[in-house]
């Protein structure tokens, strides 16, 4: 299968005669979005990665071959955010600048220490980009910590690898690192960018803990800490820091904004962009079940089964042989693979009872309590937040994202809420979720640039009814 290929990519593959009209509609919509996003930046068709820059051989992680750099050491540093290792990293979308420096900047692959939801030390990988653009604001160059949207669960899906190998077009295969446009826009403001690969995505010692609130929030904040120690980085401890993310990344930036006061109070947080956040996983499970992104259910179950005993017990007791095979298969897949291998699958096919995974969890108080602990919105976020969600979003449902804004406003947070009004672009085929990513991006980057220059953000909570 394509996901066994050592090339770090997500793969879109299909045969016209074997899929339904609905899947063909999803395929066409996704391809248009992918190609449009890629064309908006630049086009490049890279080769597969070889050995790490130190000459060490690639490693095999759950059947997938990736560079040895991503294999964490047995012993990790004591402090969160400590840089473990780094190496120069070529950007797949880069051009020579007139001054001899590459545009939009110079990238460094990195690994740093973080703490997972069980309080255990973990090595997390990512990338830092020193921009070619000058910083013209006051104070030292600021930093934006970017949390990528859903990339997959195979280690070859790591966002840092997508920056190096941004686009692959080969036959029926379309692969793109779709966060590149936002990252390059942020770099053009003069801010540096650090991208986290999350816990277990890239790192070969565990399965990626998809949408785990603590893991993601910690990894993003520790990426901001680690960036200061990258060789050649111009950011300092006094640099203003922004958090930026959409979809899975929106949940990560939201969680990090809530956790910053207690987990990383020394990180000078200037503002957070939270796009389409999966704040209430009970609602999100229902949104993605049977959708084009149904495979994300498998990623969440794989991750929680690894990190939470209550959910692991429920999964083991209620998943049938078809479900077990699917969960194992999906654990090495990227977005494109899972879209066309498991798109529109209902989780009722994976359970012994024929109930949906959401219903199975709801009937188990310990499992439901474990899922409830993932709820974002129970803490007041630090600093101003811009929260945006498409009103037609049926994958990460609009209403639960809006409820997060309400919950934060009730706590007295400084929230700029944006309801992105677009027509219905197709039920459950991802378009209602992905198009706002593009249409809101310019405003999101401008809002973030204002925060990094120290401009005041004004809450619009007064426009929202906050009573229960």
Residue among 176, 171, 148, 173 at smallest CA distance from 43: 176
Is residue 225 in some structural domain?
yes
CA 203 to each of CA 156, 178, 283, 304: distance values in angstroms, whole numbers, following the listed order: 10, 21, 29, 17
* Distance of alpha carbon 310 from alpha carbon 320, whole angstroms: 18
* Distance of alpha carbon 188 from alpha carbon 184, whole angstroms: 6
Is residue 442 in some structural domain?
yes
Is residue 112 in some structural domain?
yes
* Tally of domains within the chain: 1
Give the tokens for residue 244.
Answer: 């930026």
Query: Angle of helix 281-288 relative to helix 365-372, nearest 10 degrees?
Result: 100
- Whether 233 and 128 have beta carbons less than 8 Å apart is answered as yes
Is residue 161 in some structural domain?
yes
* Distance of alpha carbon 317 from alpha carbon 285, whole angstroms: 19
Give the tokens for residue 440.
Answer: 């809101």
Concatenating the DSSP letter of every residue in 330-357 gives HTT-BHHHHHHHHTT--GGGGBSSS--H
Is residue 142 in some structural domain?
yes
Residue 237: enclosing H or E segment and its boundaries? none
Backbone angles phi, psi at 94, to 5 degrees: -155, 145
pTM confidence score: 0.89
pLDDT tens digit at each of 468 positions of the chain = 333 333 333 222 222 323 344 444 444 444 434 433 343 333 333 334 433 444 467 888 777 788 999 999 999 999 999 999 999 999 998 887 766 678 899 999 999 999 999 999 999 999 999 999 999 999 999 999 999 999 999 898 999 999 998 864 433 333 468 899 999 999 999 999 999 999 999 988 899 999 999 999 999 999 999 999 999 999 999 999 999 999 999 999 999 999 999 999 999 999 999 999 999 999 999 999 999 999 999 999 999 999 999 899 999 999 999 999 999 999 988 888 888 889 999 999 999 999 999 999 999 999 999 999 999 999 999 999 999 999 999 999 999 999 999 999 999 999 999 999 999 999 999 999 999 999 999 999 999 999 999 999 999 999 987 654
Q: How many residues does the chain have?
A: 468
Give the tokens for residue 430.
Answer: 């991802």
Is residue 341 in some structural domain?
no
Give the tokens for residue 178.
Answer: 């779709």
Is residue 342 in some structural domain?
no
CATH number at residue 35: 3.40.50.1820
Sheet containing 385-390, strands listed edge to edge, beginning at the edge strand earlier in sequence: 83-89, 105-115, 121-131, 192-196, 143-147, 241-246, 269-275, 385-390, 415-420
Q: Which domain range does residue 34 map to?
A: 29-281+373-463
Give the tokens for residue 49.
Answer: 């990665």
- Whether 277 and 251 have beta carbons less than 8 Å apart is answered as yes
Is residue 6 in some structural domain?
no
């Amino acid at each position: 299968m394509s996901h066994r290929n050592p090339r770090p990519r997500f793969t879109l593959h299909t045969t016209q005669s074997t899929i339904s009209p609905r899947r063909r509609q999803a395929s066409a919509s996704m391809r248009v979005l992918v190609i449009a996003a890629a064309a908006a930046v630049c086009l490049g068709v890279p080769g597969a990665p070889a050995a790490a820059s130190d000459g060490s051989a690639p490693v095999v992680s759950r059947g997938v071959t990736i560079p040895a750099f991503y294999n964490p050491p047995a012993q990790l540093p004591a402090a969160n955010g400590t840089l473990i290792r780094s190496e120069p990293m070529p950007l797949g979308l880069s051009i020579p600048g007139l001054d001899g420096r590459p545009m939009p900047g110079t990238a460094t692959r990195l690994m740093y220490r973080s703490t997972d939801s069980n309080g255990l030390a973990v090595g997390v990988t990512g990338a830092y980009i020193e921009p070619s653009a000058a910083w013209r604001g006051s104070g030292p160059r600021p930093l934006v910590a970017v949390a990528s949207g859903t990339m997959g669960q195979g280690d070859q899906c790591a966002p840092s690898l997508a920056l190096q190998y941004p686009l692959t077009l080969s036959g029926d295969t379309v692969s793109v690192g779709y966060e590149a446009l936002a990252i390059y826009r942020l770099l053009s403001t003069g801010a540096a960018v650090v991208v986290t690969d999350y816990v277990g995505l890239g790192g070969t010692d565990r399965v990626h803990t998809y949408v785990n609130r603590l893991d993601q929030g910690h990894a993003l904040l520790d990426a901001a800490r680690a960036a200061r120690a990258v060789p050649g980085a111009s950011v300092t401890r006094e640099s203003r820091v922004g958090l930026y993310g959409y979809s899975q990344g929106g949940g990560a930036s939201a969680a990090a904004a809530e956790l910053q006061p207690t987990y990383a109070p020394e990180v000078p947080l200037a503002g957070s962009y939270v796009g389409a956040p999966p704040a209430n996983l009970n609602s999100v499970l229902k949104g993605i079940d049977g959708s084009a992104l149904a495979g994300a259910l498998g990623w969440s179950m794989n991750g929680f089964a690894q990190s939470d005993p209550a959910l692991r017990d429920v999964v083991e007791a209620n998943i049938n042989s078809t479900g077990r095979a699917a969960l194992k298969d999906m654990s090495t897949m990227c977005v494109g693979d899972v879209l066309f291998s498991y798109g529109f699958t209902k989780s009722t096919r994976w359970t012994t009872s024929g109930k949906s995974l959401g219903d199975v969890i709801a009937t188990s108080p310990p499992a439901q309590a474990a899922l409830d602990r993932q709820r974002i919105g129970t803490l007041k976020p630090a600093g101003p937040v811009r929260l945006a969600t498409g009103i037609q979003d049926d994958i990460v449902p609009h209403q639960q994202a809006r409820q997060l804004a309400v919950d934060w406003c009730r706590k007295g947070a400084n929230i700029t809420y944006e309801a992105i009004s677009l027509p219905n672009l197709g039920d459950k085929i991802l378009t209602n979720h992905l198009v706002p990513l593009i249409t809101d991006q310019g405003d999101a980057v401008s809002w973030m640039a204002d925060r990094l220059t120290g401009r005041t953000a004004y809450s619009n909570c007064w426009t929202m009814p906050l009573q229960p």
